[in-house]
């Protein structure tokens, strides 16, 4: 699977992932009003608006990028109606040829992780039939339970040729509270990184493993250390743009070959029309603003590679 | 919220939570066959069988226990159809007067955690309306992101009078891989415990906080230390029964007043009819086997309190 991602990154020359994390506050009024008019101010109305918003953005950016990363929390808050649109978005993006990273950050004891792995990457047996639920290409995983909580995800990657990004060092301000704590002189996230390398060894796909890592753009010195420690691990890098990470901060996440990382931007792309820089597009052309923001992001990252 | 749980524990004399974690393999053939006959071997068929299984168990045990804990992964693997049954199960249990602990173990950066908190405990604003999605009374939370990843859950607890159980020391075999690592001579889970106490200080409800902790039954020496470290924190204790924890192992999770912990059992109750001890009930009376297993579990725990 990671080779499919690399190939698409090389084709598009854009190591970029657009975060489809729709908040209702990002959606232009004309879309909200139309959906509320049809379905009322209900979960169904919200979900309908999210779908129209997502579709317009995907239609504008699909040819520029290798992948999208829908954050499932943004759909889950609208309950079953929201999750229907999550599913629909995943399938639509895949039809457009995009690889989909389900940002679910699941993790639990072994038998429960196995159910999550099935839900997002695998197939579930129903009588004599095999069915699949959310069917993403990659998913994000939380490592707090240790090996037996991560192994079921790794197993599904092997069986189904899928990929993971395991949280190593996250982009948020208080990520250091536990992740940076020193264990025998080394920060905890380096111990997690060692395990991610170990989990990924049985999952190699060319030069890189199907078991990747989440490494925030907001801590570039730490990214540099992790890059050396994990030469065959792909990084999913959140924190660029709205969270404060710059293109210069991203450089240490990449290997010398220009590969090794894919950078996510969510509101910086999907709500671009709300920025002064893209205000000329206006709410009616919000998705064209997103397209321009993707082009600008690709140029910005290209300038440091 | 924690006082409502305590009151129900005192009424039922059973500090017990039944884990509604339905695997298709636990469901008697007569239920599966009827659902597959009606809906085919599909996600809808699986979900229908799970609902009938859950309902029969809840109908048999609701008067004996204060709470249930549906593990959302078991529903998520059946996609949208599974999540409809999760929602239906939550509401049905609440109608029966049970408190529902949504076992979702969510956690992310602040804005995403806010969406998860809304999804499971809060209300989302849609236009001028407030809607709620999964609407559980408590939920489980993963602390790996640190304070800013947990705070949105705590905030919703304050606004909506809900409760949390934050992972501190989990019950699985490899939980020690990261959680037991020594930081300045203390295991990481004790540092997490300090933070859980801090997060819970603004959320007191009587003697206990609405911010509780997950502490596995399988490590009783550690439970004893955590019990002293967190005197006002309620423990949600997994690992009893099928995972190996005994009643004696549970004692250190409780305070001297006999309060402070609620013990979960999932397959030990819901699949009781598959154990030799309860085989006499047979698949046709599987839910009566669950009732007997709850009575036996309450007596077993009562013997050490």
- Whether residue B242 is predicted with pLDDT greater than 80 in this model: the reply is no
- What's the pLDDT at B237? 96
Do the Cβ atoms of A79 and B86 come closer than 8 Å? no
B interface test, pick of A30, A33, A145 with most B CB neighbours within 10 Å = A145
- What's the pLDDT at B245? 80
A60 contact B CB<8A: no
DSSP class of residue B240? B
Q: Could B172 and A148 be called an inter-chain contact, meaning their C-beta atoms sit closer than 8 Å?
A: yes
Which residues in chain A come in under a pLDDT of 70? Answer: none
Q: Which residues of B touch A32 (CB under 8 A)?
A: 127
Closest CA to B245 of B271, B266, B273: B266
Where does the pLDDT of residue B40 fall: very low under 50, low under 70, confident under 90, or very high at 90 and above?
Answer: very high
Closest CA to B295 of B272, B279, B262, B261: B272
Closest CA to B106 of B97, B98, B116, B115: B116
Longest dimension (CA), chain A: 60
Q: Could B105 and A110 be called an inter-chain contact, meaning their C-beta atoms sit closer than 8 Å?
A: no
CA distance A13 to chain B (A): 29
User: Rounded mean pLDDT of B16-26?
Assistant: 97
Q: Which residues of A touch B131 (CB under 8 A)?
A: 42-43, 46, 78-79
Separation CA A89–CA A132 (nearest Å): 15
- The dihedral built from the CA positions of residue A269, A275, A280 and A285, taken in this order, carries a sign that is positive
Which positions 148-167 of B are in contact with A (Cβ < 8 Å)?
148-149, 167
Chain A's closest residue to B192, CA to CA, is A178
A144 contact B CB<8A: yes
Chain A's closest residue to B133, CA to CA, is A79
Quote the strand ranges of chain B, DSSP E.
Answer: 16-18, 67-68, 99-106, 124-126, 129-131, 138-141, 163-169, 182-183, 186-187, 204-205, 208-209, 211-215, 235-237, 261-265
Do the Cβ atoms of B189 and B145 come closer than 8 Å? no
- What's the pLDDT at B241? 82
Closest CB to A41: pick one of B82, B119, B126. B126
Q: Could A73 and B115 be called an inter-chain contact, meaning their C-beta atoms sit closer than 8 Å?
A: yes
Return the H-helix or E-strand segment holding A264: strand A261-265
Q: Could B79 and A87 be called an inter-chain contact, meaning their C-beta atoms sit closer than 8 Å?
A: yes
Closest CB to A177: pick one of B46, B147, B173. B147
Angstrom distances, CA of residue B228 to CA of A154, B28, B166, B170: 37, 43, 17, 18
Separation CA B300–CA B246 (nearest Å): 9
- What's the pLDDT at B244? 80
- Whether residue B65 is predicted with pLDDT greater than 90 in this model: the reply is yes
B24 contact A CB<8A: yes
A79 contact B CB<8A: yes
Residue A96 a catalytic site member: no
Closest CB to A24: pick one of B83, B126, B145. B126
| Catalytic member of A13, A105, A195, A274 | A105
- What's the pLDDT at A241? 82
Do the Cβ atoms of A45 and A79 come closer than 8 Å? no
A227 contact B CB<8A: no
- What's the pLDDT at A112? 97
- What's the pLDDT at A239? 87
Where does the pLDDT of residue B91 fall: very low under 50, low under 70, confident under 90, or very high at 90 and above?
Answer: very high
CA distance A47 to chain B (A): 10
- What's the pLDDT at A139? 98
B198 contact A CB<8A: no
User: Rounded mean pLDDT of B161-182?
Assistant: 96
What percent of chain B has pLDDT above 70? Answer: 100
Do the Cβ atoms of A72 and B83 come closer than 8 Å? no
A177 contact B CB<8A: yes
Q: Could B112 and A21 be called an inter-chain contact, meaning their C-beta atoms sit closer than 8 Å?
A: yes
- What's the pLDDT at A198? 98
User: Rounded mean pLDDT of B43-70?
Assistant: 98
Which positions 116-135 of A are in contact with B (Cβ < 8 Å)?
116, 118-120, 124-129, 131-134
Separation CA B54–CA B95 (nearest Å): 14
For residue B283, the tally of other CB atoms under 10 A from its CB is 14
Q: Could A145 and B172 be called an inter-chain contact, meaning their C-beta atoms sit closer than 8 Å?
A: yes
CA distance A77 to chain B (A): 4
DSSP class of residue A86? H
Q: Could A73 and B146 be called an inter-chain contact, meaning their C-beta atoms sit closer than 8 Å?
A: no
- What's the pLDDT at B1? 97
Do the Cβ atoms of B51 and A138 come closer than 8 Å? no
The tokens 């602390």 sit on which residue?
B143
Predicted complex ipTM exceeds 0.95: yes
Angle between helices A147-160 and A110-120 (to 10 degrees): 30
B187 contact A CB<8A: no
Closest CA to A43 of B298, B119, B42, B246: B119
CA distance A257 to chain B (A): 31
Separation CA A158–CA A156 (nearest Å): 5
User: Rounded mean pLDDT of B173-187?
Assistant: 95
- What's the pLDDT at A243? 75
- What's the pLDDT at B158? 96
Per-residue pLDDT reduced to its tens digit, A217-269: 889 999 999 999 999 999 999 989 877 888 899 999 999 989 999 999 999 99
The more confidently predicted of residues A67 and B249 is A67
pTM of the model: 0.97
- What's the pLDDT at B206? 95
> What does residue A32 show for φ and ψ, rounded to 5 degrees?
-60, -50
- Report the alpha-carbon angle A159-A161-A163, nearest 5: 115
Do the Cβ atoms of B72 and B120 come closer than 8 Å? no
A218 contact B CB<8A: no
Q: Which stretches within A201-284 are classed as H helix?
A: 220-229, 247-250, 267-270
Q: Could A188 and B181 be called an inter-chain contact, meaning their C-beta atoms sit closer than 8 Å?
A: yes
Question: How many residue contacts between A and B have a Cβ separation below 8 Å?
Answer: 226
Separation CA A72–CA A138 (nearest Å): 13
Instruction: Give the contacts of A264 (CB within 8 A, at least 6 positions apart).
Output: A16, A17, A18, A19, A69, A236, A237, A238, A240
B183 contact A CB<8A: yes
Do the Cβ atoms of A141 and A154 come closer than 8 Å? no
- What's the pLDDT at A245? 80
- The dihedral built from the CA positions of residue B103, B109, B114 and B115, taken in this order, carries a sign that is negative
User: Rounded mean pLDDT of B15-32?
Assistant: 97
Do the Cβ atoms of A265 and A292 come closer than 8 Å? no
CA distance A60 to chain B (A): 25
B34 contact A CB<8A: no
Separation CA B62–CA A116 (nearest Å): 28
| Catalytic member of B105, B123, B151, B274 | B105
Do the Cβ atoms of B226 and B202 come closer than 8 Å? no
A1 contact B CB<8A: no
């Amino acid at each position: 699977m990671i080779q499919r991602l690399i190939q698409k990154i090389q084709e598009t020359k854009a190591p970029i992932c657009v975060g489809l994390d729709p908040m209702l506050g990002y959606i232009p009024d004309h879309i909200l009003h139309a959906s509320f008019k049809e379905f009322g101010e209900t979960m169904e109305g919200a979900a309908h608006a999210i779908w129209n918003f997502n579709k317009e953005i995907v239609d504008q950016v699909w040819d520029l990028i290798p992948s999208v990363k829908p954050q499932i929390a943004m759909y889950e808050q609208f309950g079953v109606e929201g999750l229907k649109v999550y599913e629909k978005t995943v399938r639509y993006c895949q039809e457009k040829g995009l690889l989909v990273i389900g940002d679910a950050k699941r993790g639990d004891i072994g038998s429960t992780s196995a159910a999550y792995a099935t839900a997002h990457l695998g197939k579930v047996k129903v009588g004599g039939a095999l069915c699949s639920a959310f069917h993403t290409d990659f998913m994000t995983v939380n490592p707090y339970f240790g090996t037996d909580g991560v192994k079921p995800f790794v197993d599904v990657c092997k069986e189904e040729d899928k990929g993971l990004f395991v949280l190593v060092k996250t982009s948020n301000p208080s990520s250091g509270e536990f992740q940076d704590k020193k264990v025998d002189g080394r920060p905890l996230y380096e111990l997690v990184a060692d395990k991610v390398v170990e989990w990924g060894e049985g999952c190699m796909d060319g030069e890189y493993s199907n078991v990747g890592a989440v490494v925030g753009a907001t801590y570039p010195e730490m990214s540099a250390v992790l890059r050396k420690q994990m030469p065959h691990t792909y990084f999913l890098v959140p924190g660029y743009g709205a969270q404060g990470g710059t293109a210069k901060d991203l450089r240490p996440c990449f290997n010398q070959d220009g590969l090794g990382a894919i950078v996510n931007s969510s509101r910086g792309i999907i709500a671009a029309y709300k920025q002064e820089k893209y205000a000329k597009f206006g709410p009616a052309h919000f998705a064209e603003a997103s397209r321009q923001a993707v082009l600008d992001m690709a140029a910005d990252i290209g300038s440091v590679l």
